[in-house]
Structure 1
């Protein structure tokens, strides 16, 4: 694969509502991000991806857009965004925005016109409308956020289609006019000087045009819409056209949220002529639930399962192109709470081991806000404390599926998207230094012990180690190998060690990560290594084959000493 500028980036995801509140209204904003650019620069990241800041009624926290060309007033004005892009650029940080083009808000002018003139609106064909039969919706498909994908269109016998929330009607991609409107908008933002997009829910844009029922898979009598409305044949025509009319005209980066794509299709998505620069693979992130959208179907897993998912993903991505590696995002729970099962083992060592383990995989690493200080899941005591529509749906669905109220609450505390959306912990001050007033979402109370201010002062903190993890990838002697090198899994059968090599032009970096609270024996292949990274304090710069045990939750990244830079 040809080298591309975005392969070298380290991307930091910002959930703007919860990052930093500059005007003390309880909601994070664009100026808040600008004020924290020094922090981001000191961390070592090179790009920020900002979750949606467009005008929105915020039914799904901005993923329901009512105007693609305006910003939501709670986040600020266009001049604030212009200032952020400019000041970030001065610090060597690029800005990527979210692109939500599967659906709009029901408050978008197109949909509002349809509501006012259901029979003769010029936007009738911008959305997906079907007639019901015998008082029933057109099909028995369930939306991602629960309930039917069909919602009655007032004053008609028709229904409109929504893959996600009821306030998020899907756009009709079969209509060329819709597509042209969207391409015009995409180009507007790229002309503004952003570096690219993370592309939301893009595998949903093509529906099976038969619109027929399937056997139910839940007690609600419905079936997951993903079987008929995600990654359907024909989507490739839309994705080629999207790229041709927009992305390919710019030297931009595109990161697809593309769940449901089988590995054999990765070449179409990721290759040198793929639709996107890279895509997220959610298989390892969803290993604890039988389906990413059904949190009550819990799956017991071990380190071997996690390792198999990660390495399968890496092999398939490596065949096709380039990946986007992540531990957390705005739709996932906190990684230390998910991947480190016992509370007593969630500490500096396990957090830094996890961080380094995913960071040196082949692909561009993403850090989600708060991950770099070890923010954890919270525990809410009642359903009233949740904001996330997905969590509320899962709570009621769990009980319909036969679980008790306590069990339902337990499931959503484990997986709620609110886990990663709690306000960022800047300090031990009230409200974690995020705001001087009560934030829009309840804080995780451990901000008094887990926060940036305290970790900046402590040289042995998770934050300081994340800076080291980034520095080793970006500017150490092994940097080229860690960015561009091939990846080769090793110790694949070991029950608690995740280990792999990165190789480039005769250079070899070996990475060991112990997922156990016990020491583990390993046999080193070569006589001598240079230590690039170690989350245990040892002043040794080299390590030899005699020293062969990994401490609990140790991360050890080694450069083969006698490696020459020539084949």
Structure 2
């Protein structure tokens, strides 16, 4: 693969900057903190880092409410810090991807301040405004993901404005071509500063139904859409009209057209729709839309070999020439080490990363995943996430996966800061600190490093096609194939040893020619059977 295709099969390490490392000791992580840890990041063997928002913001949603797309919030540093980060990361062979939150802004963005003044100003049509119904109620039944109606009354405009998220995150009106141009100009500002790509937040939310039609009700038995359940009334609707509109495909093409002017620059779209796998396929189709997409299908509580197989096979049947990106952890969901079983087993977390890294696609790996961090238990008085505050106690929010990265087991706040951290460091994370795991060749951290280095030497894993083998839970088995090479891959999703006949894995008469040994290849062949220990892995050429 040439350098412009670096993203195919890449491992992208997500950094949540508030919680990575605090260089100025004010309790909040920052860009200089990331710079100081670039050698650590390089040691992980990842291809790129994706940095969650660091732009100017009132921080109502911790940076996903942007008030200035072209400047750094002072709590994170300066533009000069960012430029230094890009230069030093590139010198280490690390690509830089940054978040772009395009569908909405902060209500403190100058665009919205102007827009809400009256119905005739230059920015009057830059946001989604609508008159009240005759009885004064909201224009339709659209809901906010963060609870309640998706509309808020503004007394200055004497109209409602749309917000799919917090009331302080008004939605831009992408039906207005001036808005699309201004948004793309902001994107290009960062391309000119040397970024290699973007993670596009909630990218299917850019357009809304211009007729403002009501969303239809969802039957009770179907209120289990990915990411939402009956704790949140958002699950009570089919969200056919407040997001994922056909017009958005044209905007994806506008984004790609801009990126094509900067060779090697890529776009990764976050997609959450009624049928996210279908939307992923549409948004990554051909060479005219996004380079990659990821959904929340593997960010749920569902953990079984059959579920992983079903999700990937469904996407593969639809995606044709598109390219997926897989993720099992991020800043919005419970950490995978807890969410998928809570096993106190290093083998479990090692197997999970090997599994996700062996699927066809690229990988987003969230900070702390390389340490096997579990979900932190946050007391109510320490909760910062507005989502958690609204839905407490049934849902505690997203703070449990956002706590500070532990660097040193015997230091205050695990070496993250000498100040009071914005979230407390989990007492369970000290023993998993970087300094502890650095010293153990068998640690989750060193296995993560080893696997990434080994995988870079396996083009079949990075670029190859995938074909699943029909075997029963708890075994996941598939063949990756690239340029005539075939690789058999097997995982045991159970905490008990499993045995499977080789005849079930090689039904086309292939023979195992070479076991690809690395620290995770723990399966063995005995009397024509593959024996996999608890959470075991097996790789062999066919």
TM-score normalised over the length of structure 1: 0.86
Shift of 1:446: 1.0
The counterpart of 1:247, out of the listed 259, 266, 287, is: 259
Q: Partner residue of 2:399?
A: 418
- Name the CA distance, whole Å, in 1 between partners of 2:520 and 2:138: 56
Give a deviation string over 1:218-251, Cα, whole Å, max 9, x none.
Answer: 799875483311111222222223332x222122
Are 1:532 and 1:559, in contact at CA under 8 Å, matched by a contact in 2?
A: no
How many angstroms apart in 1 are the aligned matches of 2:433 and 2:232? 43
* 3-state secondary structure, aligned to 1:499: strand
Q: Per the alignment, do residues 365 and 214 of structure 1 end up closer, same or farther by CA in structure 2, a change over 3 Å counting?
A: closer
CA gap of 1:438–1:367, structure 2 versus 1, over 3 A, is same
1:510 corresponding residue in structure 2 = 488
CA distance in structure 2 between the aligned counterparts of 1:230 and 1:253, rounded to whole angstroms: 23
Range that drifts further, 452-461 or 320-329: 320-329
User: Which runs of no fewer than 5 residues in structure 1 stay unpaired?
Assistant: 289-300, 396-404, 561-567
Q: Kindly indicate whether residue 438 of structure 2 is the aligned counterpart of residue 456 of structure 1.
A: yes
* Residue in structure 1 matched with residue 531 of structure 2 by the alignment: 549
Secondary structure of 1:28's counterpart equals: coil
The alpha carbon displacement at 1:442 in A equals 2.1
Task: Give the whole-Å Cα distance in 2 for the aligned partners of 1:359 and 1:381.
Answer: 34
Determine if the alignment matches structure 1 residue 394 to structure 2 residue 397. no
- Tell me the equivalent position of 2:227: none
Are the structure 2 counterparts of residues 314 and 274 from structure 1 closer, same or farther at C-alpha, using a change threshold of 3 Å?
same
Taking the aligned partners of 2:252 and 2:513, their CA distance within structure 1 comes to 49
Any idea what the Cα deviations from partners look like across 1:519-559, whole Å, max 9, x if unmatched? Answer: 10122342543233343779xxx967646211011122223
* Aligned counterparts, 1:373-384, within 5 A: 373-382=371-380, 384=381
Shift of 1:37: 0.5
- Between the aligned partners of 1:141 and 1:558, the Cα distance in structure 2 is 51
Structure 2 residue aligned with 1:398: none
Work out whether residues 501 and 530 of structure 2, in 8 Å CA contact, stay in contact via their aligned partners in 1.
Answer: yes
Separation (CA, whole Å) in 1 of partners of 2:371 and 2:339: 16
Q: Structure 1 residues 11-20 or 304-313, which shifts more?
A: 304-313
CA distance in structure 1 between the partners assigned to 2:203 and 2:387 by the alignment: 19
3-state SS, counterpart of residue 240 of structure 2: helix
- TM-superposed CA distance for 1:157, in Å, is 2.7
Say whether the 8 Å CA contact 1:328–1:334 is kept in structure 2.
Answer: yes
Contact kept? 2:10, 2:47, Cα under 8 Å:
yes
- Aligned positions of 1:110-125 closer than 5 A: 110-115=111-116, 117-125=117-125
Please report how far the alpha carbon of residue 432 of structure 1 lies from its aligned counterpart in structure 2 after TM superposition: 1.3
User: Partner of 1:532: helix, strand, or coil?
Assistant: coil
Deviations 1:156-215 (Å, cap 9, x if unpaired)? 431111111110000011111111111111111111111011111110111111213345
CA–CA separation in structure 1 for the residues paired with 2:231 and 2:431: 43
Return the match for 2:356 from 358, 375, 391: 358
The answer to whether the Cα contact below 8 Å between 2:144 and 2:166 also exists between their aligned partners in 1 is yes
Report the Cα distance in structure 2 between the residues aligned to 1:268 and 1:462, rounded to whole angstroms.
Answer: 36
Change (3 A) 1:119 1:322: closer
Q: Quick one: which of 480, 492, 495 aligns to 2:473?
A: 495
2:300 to 286, 303, 313: 286
Q: Is the 8 A contact 2:404 2:425 kept in 1?
A: yes
5+ residue gaps, structure 2: 219-229
1:310 corresponds to: 312
Q: Secondary structure at the match of 2:7?
A: helix
* 2:286 equivalent to 1:275: no
Preserved contact between residue 253 and residue 290 of structure 2 (Cα < 8 Å): no
Q: Structure 1, residues 36-64: CA drift from partner, whole Å, max 9, x if none? A: 01101111112111011110011111111
Distance 1:380 1:263, change over 3 A: closer
The counterpart of 1:485, out of the listed 445, 464, 467, is 464
Q: Is the 8 A contact 1:140 1:216 kept in 2?
A: no
2:17 equivalent in structure 1: 16
1:95 is displaced (CA, Å) by 0.6
Distance 1:35 1:385 in 2: 28
What are the equivalent positions in structure 2 for 1:91-106 lying under 5 Å apart? 91-106=92-107
Match of 2:451 among 447, 457, 469: 469
Distance 1:209 1:537, change over 3 A: closer
Q: d(CA) in 2 for partners of 1:221 and 1:315? A: 32
1:264 & 1:447 partners in 2: Cα distance?
Answer: 38
> Does structure 1 residue 532 correspond to structure 2 residue 522?
no
Q: In structure 1, how many angstroms separate the alpha carbons of the residues matched to 2:420 and 2:37?
A: 20
For 1:434 and 1:221, the matched residues in 2 are separated by 37
Secondary structure of 2:244 counterpart: coil
Number of the residue aligned with 2:423: 441
Confirm whether residue 523 of structure 1 aligns to residue 505 of structure 2: no
1:4 equivalent in alignment to 2:32: no
Aligned to 2:221: none
SS of 1:548's equivalent in the other structure is strand
Q: Which residue of 1 aligns with 2:408?
A: 427
CA distance in 1, matches of 2:233, 2:78: 45
State the shift of 1:437 in Å: 1.6
1:135 Cα offset (Å): 2.1
Q: Distance between the aligned counterparts of 1:440 and 1:388, measured in 2? A: 11
| CA displacement, residues 136-161 of structure 1 (integer Å, 9 cap, x when unaligned) | 11112111111111111123431111
Whether the 8 Å contact between 1:534 and 1:555 is mirrored in structure 2 is no
Contact 2:115–2:127 (8 Å) recurs in 1: no
Q: Could you tell me the TM-score, scaled by structure 2's length?
A: 0.90
**Partner in structure 2 of residue 61 of structure 1:** 62
CA 424–264 in structure 1, closer or farther in 2 if over 3 Å, else same: closer
Q: Structure 1: how far apart are the matches of 2:65 and 2:5?
A: 32
Q: 1:330 to 1:221 in 2, by over 3 A?
A: closer
Q: For the residues of structure 1 that align with 2:248 and 2:80, how far apart are their CA atoms?
A: 36
